[in-house]
Structure 1
């Protein structure tokens, strides 16, 4: 029996993030399988379709909230808003354009103001549509004890940073190549990797939802210098981060302090 469609206005923010990310994921799977497009045309069509859907769902069901999206002009009114949805409609366009790869994702996160001290991420969902999985702050995963003998570090499958290769050599870690930023963070949540260390440039939408989910799972999340990851800032760039099992955090941060990331 088909489950009834939920009333999005009745969903709490955690469930709404999941619902919106999964609806965008459904659209992306349809574009991928039915459009007949390939390469850049498929990437562009996926970006556009997922952006249109998420923007429409947020406007309809969360009309008082601001939006920061990779695929839309930055509306600076968000800087004075109490609630801002930070979205990446399609994270990992390269992987999306290479069926049947499943290492691409949809990111939906909510940032809320907390007063004079700024704000924080309060809800988030990362959907991996081709995997049929969605990870969220509403049902956080309890990360199990590490199953690997050697630490595993998630890295780009096309351009792993040299400093991460040096880190891996120092701590005897294995490099695990994979696609999008969200997928790399979720690999730590899923115990497919033990850390994701990045300093090659990202934006708030690349990691807001993944970080929200990773924090809910009890993982360490910070900038590479150990400082906090701050969202809904005027500057959308958020170029580096560490997401890892708590027991690896100090070892990784110490390496960066001694060696830098260049």
Structure 2
């Protein structure tokens, strides 16, 4: 497999620049900074994000000039689509935690080859934990091999603190441990500090590429909530639905629990060939086929909210669902697309 190639130089460069970026982040914390927001209060950004991104991208470009680059904080250079090897970077995963003085943030640097995550480096500056790994060669924490996975059955489930605060706190799922950065969640699962994770909302490639590589290096995996694989370096670098992953036995148990509890997930831009299409009523399946702006929130075959957005104007053409699920879906669409305009579209219950 591709990951069996010698990536020791790549791992060394990525590890070194991750530590440099971590030092820069801590320097900004000491000096103070202003917090801005991209699409909403849930999507903060700081000068530290931008400077760390510049530092990392400059170093990677100098060391690997023939590779593609993708960072959350840089204008997307579509030339990356012509590269088999692409570095996928989040200079701060967990900016909300970072900007509010919480320790649950990290620097995340992943390498995808042929669309597959093969190398991951996640550095947590507050705890000085450097998680590194190459698929086929194992995962390490501060240079030491990670322990064997937890054997259960008391599985430790890492969940989003935001999702836990808004709705998961009322869910009878045992073993939930809320935290911020998903990259750090995946790294900690790879290091046997937790066992599995899932999200209700979509994530972007830069959020998960490094952590996914670490998880694979440690014998686990990460997929979409509907079980389909994740391929990186896509034209639109966003995974359009919630995720589930972890060590195999824990992830299998978790999948059974999510289905039994009917826990929702969003699916943005759902298409006719995808499982979530079946939650639409038959008339909509016929009328909306090929429409790129069909967004749903669903659970176990039941449609909870529907938001149809014009792909060019971002005008909401139709909105259905109860207030809570429609609000969650609207937040997910806004974060993925930017502001959407509801205009005079009526919002009502999902029609059966």
TM bucket normalised to smaller: 0.7 to 0.9
Are the structure 2 counterparts of residues 219 and 161 from structure 1 closer, same or farther at C-alpha, using a change threshold of 3 Å? farther
Partners of 1:85 and 1:187 in 2: how far apart? 21
Tell me what 2:174 maps to: 173
Structure with larger Rg: 2
Q: Please, which of 128, 135, 144 is the counterpart of residue 132 of structure 1? A: 128
Tell me what 2:186 maps to: 185
Q: Secondary structure at the match of 2:163?
A: coil
How far did residue 72 of structure 1 move? Answer: 0.9
How far did residue 140 of structure 1 move? Answer: 0.8
Whose strand proportion is higher, 1 or 2?
2
Unaligned runs of at least 5 residues, structure 2: 1-6, 38-43, 141-145, 265-297, 299-352
CA distances 1:9-33 after superposition (whole Å, capped 9, x unpaired):
x961122221221111111111112
Tell me what 2:160 maps to: 156
CA distances 1:25-56 after superposition (whole Å, capped 9, x unpaired):
111111112x2335449951211110110121
Moved more, 127-136 or 147-156: 147-156
Q: Considering only aligned residues, what root-mean-square deviation do their CA atoms show, in Å?
A: 2.6
Q: Secondary structure at the match of 1:49?
A: helix
CA distances 1:153-203 after superposition (whole Å, capped 9, x unpaired):
11222332878668x62xx52211111111221232233322111131210
Partners of 1:253 and 1:18 in 2: how far apart? 33
In the TM superposition, 1:83-232 aligns within 5 A as: 83-99=85-101, 101-113=102-114, 119-138=115-134, 140-141=139-140, 142-146=146-150, 150-160=154-164, 169=172, 173-232=174-233
- Contact 2:93/2:107 (<8 A) preserved: yes
Unaligned runs of at least 5 residues, structure 1: 1-9, 114-118
Superposition misfits of 4+ residues, deviation over 6 angstroms: none
TM-score between both structures, scaled by the size of structure 1: 0.82
Tell me what 2:326 maps to: none
Higher relative contact order (CA 8 A, sep 6+): 1
Tell me what 1:46 maps to: 48
Tell me what 1:7 maps to: none
CA distances 1:52-107 after superposition (whole Å, capped 9, x unpaired):
101211222112211111001111111111211100011111111133x3210111
Are the structure 2 counterparts of residues 38 and 192 from structure 1 closer, same or farther at C-alpha, using a change threshold of 3 Å? farther
Number of matched pairs: 243
Partners of 1:246 and 1:165 in 2: how far apart? 25
- Contact 1:91/1:105 (<8 A) preserved: yes
CA distances 1:123-157 after superposition (whole Å, capped 9, x unpaired):
11011111101111156144434277622211222
